[in-house]
Amino acid sequence: MNNNIKLDDIARKLGISQTTVSRAISGKGRVSEQTRARVLECMRELNYSPNMIAKSFSENRTYNIGVVIPMDDMESEAPFFQNCLMGISKYCGLRSYDTLVVATEKGDVSQLRRVLDSRKADGIIITRPLQDGTMEKLLADRGVPYVTVGQSADMDAVTIDSAHKEGCCELTSYLLMNNKPGKIGLIIGSMDQTVNKSRYEGFVRAIESGGAPVPNKTVFLGVTGELQLRRAIDDLLQRECGCIICGDDIICMHVVNMLAAIGKSIPRDIRVASFYNSMYLDMYSPPITALSFKAGELGAATASLLLDMLEGRDAEHETLLGFEMLIRRSTM
């Protein structure tokens, strides 16, 4: 099929120099229209496609980006990362970049370090920045461009995010306005994740702008694992919450299922909403009110940002993408 044609083959066939062929194809440097046409013609004919490794070597860049994906218990199956990764990969492909997966367990930087050491990626996307900012430090030290999806501990980091804070604020406000009697409960996962911090901040802002104090008995932060989750829910029920807000889709599914298990009806007995949507939440009966963020588009935008940086354009220090409030029957 592809007989590994190289520039030199084209040059010989056309009786010109390899340099000219290179220039004709890359568009850098002046080549006569006539020559360029001949080269492009021949290139197609021979089905030439450049050896990217040679190109990489010569240019000292790889046309790869690395994407750090968390691989921890509960989060590892979260649809967000998969959708985000697909968005990234698809977009990169369009610009002839490739996407390297850096699967990372619980803050372990060894795989990232390996990729950096091997110089196999031109830039890095961190899909779930952590509070400690270890990865960011590593990247900054090496001078490797990177973007974090969500707030980073590194104030200099280029970040992009869905408008979690704003969304959470708006959804919380909506729920406050339309609540039935009873307090609002909140369950949020690990506070090591910066996204959970944003969510909490949005929640707080809504509560405070309503003039009320932030409830301390019905707000659970840093809830990880089923056991803790179960305890939190029990607690919220005892305190007669009228509504439970879940930090993300996974937590929400647990909540919905646990409520079903003890015979509580949504929304009759209690309302439920989620700060993050996924197809699963729409499948329930009743479907669950949630903030929708389009992980795939976020991924694409992130990749776009990073590639622009790699290609020398300068990037917004902080980008915010919109959200959508999906008010569904679980809160009606």
Partner DNA sequence: TTGAAAGCGCTAACAT
Partner DNA sequence: ATGTTAGCGCTTTCAA
CA angle centred on 133, ends 72 and 90, rounded to 5°? 60
Query: Applying CB under 8 A, does 76 fall inside the site for a copy of itself?
Result: yes
The residue written with tokens 């009320």 in the block is 212
User: Which residue, among 214, 178, 164, 201, has the nearest Cα to 318 in the 3D structure?
Assistant: 164
Binding mask 244-273 for a copy of itself (x = CB under 8 A): ---------xx--xx-xx------------
Residue with the two structure tokens 């006569």: 32
Torsion 278-282-283-284 (CA) sign: positive
Q: Are 233 and 244 in contact (CB under 8 A)?
A: yes
Amino acid in position 296: G
Which parts of this chain interact with DNA (CB under 7 A)? 4, 6-8, 15-20, 22-23, 25-26, 28-32, 34-35, 50-51, 54-55, 57-60
Instruction: Give the per-residue contact string, 86-105, with a copy of itself (x = CB under 8 A; - = no).
Output: x--xx--x--x-xxxxxx-x
Q: How far is the CB of 213 from a copy of itself (least distance, A)?
A: 34
22 binds, among DNA, a copy of itself, none (CB under 5 to 8 A by kind): DNA
- In angstroms, the CA 296 to CA 302 distance is 10
Q: Could you give the CA distance from residue 151 to residue 165 in angstroms, rounded to a whole number? A: 11
- Minimal distance in Å, beta carbon 4 to DNA? 6
- The verdict on 52 binding a copy of itself (CB under 8 A) reads yes
DSSP string of 260-274?
HHTTPPTTTT-EEEE
Q: State which residue, 17 or 257, has the beta carbon closest to a copy of itself.
A: 257
Which residues are at the interface with a copy of itself (CB under 8 A)? Answer: 1-2, 49-54, 56-57, 60, 62-64, 67, 69, 71, 76-77, 79, 81-83, 85-86, 89-90, 93, 96, 98-103, 105, 111, 114-120, 141-142, 253-254, 257-258, 260-261, 278-280, 283-285
